[in-house]
Structure 1
């Protein structure tokens, strides 16, 4: 590939593509603001799914752990190199399984935290939006601030 061909390929690859962070493309007929919306019940369902996955995987991944370790020790004691290889496999599996369980727990905990923090923020916003006299601002009065 010549330099010109490389530059042409790069230009073609860049046409019509743009990176968008923290934004989704507007839907047809939508508001066009590109904000991402996630509902509390969806976050709750995802958090529960992550927790359930962690619980099920924790049980399933440990199913043959002891038998695998016992077999590796027996093979090693019988003078077979396969025993040490099986021990390495056993240890690698436990490390990877632990990483996956931690990731699931992190996702579940983060979503629970996000939901709780959002609820606190909603209460704070509601209590902060008051008139000078301490009365709640009406929806029409709030709307005036954002015109």
Structure 2
């Protein structure tokens, strides 16, 4: 492929992209959002609420949603022993219910644990960044405090002796 052909293909691709919807920019005036732009932010209380609600749902699913499982399984077995094919279908539904309930509970548990871990990680990051910035501010302020007049030589180094000047 020649360089000119490559450039032509790039130009055509750029033309096609400009005709399509753009997602990587700020919407035009009046479009979407609450009017403020910037980074996504969340507080620890937001994360705690999400984690708490996921944990509550996890417990409620165990207490309330699994009640149907044992009775459905028993009914399915009774129907099978009486010769009804509906028993097999009900057994299949009861098994799938338990599987889906387990998946949903796992997801709630994952969300709850993730929020707890996320909160802890970001709290530790915040402490680290705050410490780094405050130490930089302390160091920076040290450069602004002057003990003597600027430009004076430090007497500790003294004057060079005449024979040392000649060697340089």
The reply to whether residue 109 of structure 1 matches residue 113 of structure 2 is: yes
Cα distance in 1 between the residues matched to 2:50 and 2:77: 41
Cα distance in 1 between the residues matched to 2:127 and 2:80: 62
Cα distance 1:89–1:136, how it changes in 2: closer, same or farther (>3 A)? Answer: farther
Structure 2: state its 5+ residue gaps: 1-15, 26-31, 145-168
The reply to whether residue 122 of structure 1 matches residue 94 of structure 2 is: no
User: Could you tell me which residue of structure 1 aligns to residue 22 of structure 2?
Assistant: 18
The reply to whether residue 75 of structure 1 matches residue 76 of structure 2 is: no
Q: 1:86 aligns with which of 81, 90, 96?
A: 90
Aligned residues: 119
- If the length of structure 1 is used for normalisation, what is the TM-score? 0.69
Q: How far apart are 1:26 and its partner, in Å?
A: 6.6
Q: How far apart are 1:37 and its partner, in Å?
A: 0.8
User: Could you tell me which residue of structure 1 aligns to residue 160 of structure 2?
Assistant: none
Cα distance in 1 between the residues matched to 2:139 and 2:73: 66
Q: Deviations over 1:7-49 (max 9, x none)?
A: xxx99x93xx32249xxx7743x4x4x2111111011011101
What's the Cα RMSD here? 2.9
Structure 1: state its 5+ residue gaps: 1-9, 142-147
Cα distance in 2 between the residues matched to 1:97 and 1:131: 52
Q: 1:66 aligns with which of 70, 84, 87?
A: 70
The reply to whether residue 39 of structure 1 matches residue 43 of structure 2 is: yes
- If the length of structure 2 is used for normalisation, what is the TM-score? 0.61
Bigger Rg, structure 1 or 2: 2
Task: Please state whether the residue corresponding to 1:63 is helix, strand or coil.
Answer: helix
Task: Please state whether the residue corresponding to 1:79 is helix, strand or coil.
Answer: coil
Task: Please state whether the residue corresponding to 2:67 is helix, strand or coil.
Answer: coil
